[in-house]
Amino acid sequence: VIAMRALGDPDAFLPTDLGIRRAAAELGLPATPAALTARAAAWQPWRAYAVQYLWATDSHPINFLPV
């Protein structure tokens, strides 16, 4: 998260993050860290944007609070 936000790394990827894994599974993507990393190789060098998208689409209750 620090690499993405503070350092501005557009390719930071967090395949072990539980929210990322849950959102990936909900979207039909592989949910294991190794398989998700392999799938995300095609997203380089913009994987941090995929992380933001996956966090936003996760079914966690925090994503359903009013803005």
State the DSSP string of 34-50. HHHHHHHGGGTT-HHHH
State the total domains in the chain.
1
Answer with the residue of higher pLDDT: 29 or 62: 29
Across 39-58, average pLDDT: 92
The predicted pLDDT at position 61 comes to 81
Per-residue pLDDT band at 1 (split at 50, 70, 90):
low
- Does the residue 32 lie in any domain? yes
Domain that holds residue 12: 2-61
pTM for the structure as a whole = 0.76
The predicted pLDDT at position 33 comes to 97
- Does the residue 66 lie in any domain? no
- Does the residue 37 lie in any domain? yes
Q: List, in sequence order, the alpha helices (H) in 1-67.
A: 2-5, 18-26, 33-40, 47-57
pLDDT digits 0-9 by tens, 3-45 = 566 667 889 899 999 999 999 999 999 999 999 999 999 999 9
Q: CB neighbours of 4 closer than 8 A, spacing ≥ 6?
A: 10, 12, 48, 51, 52
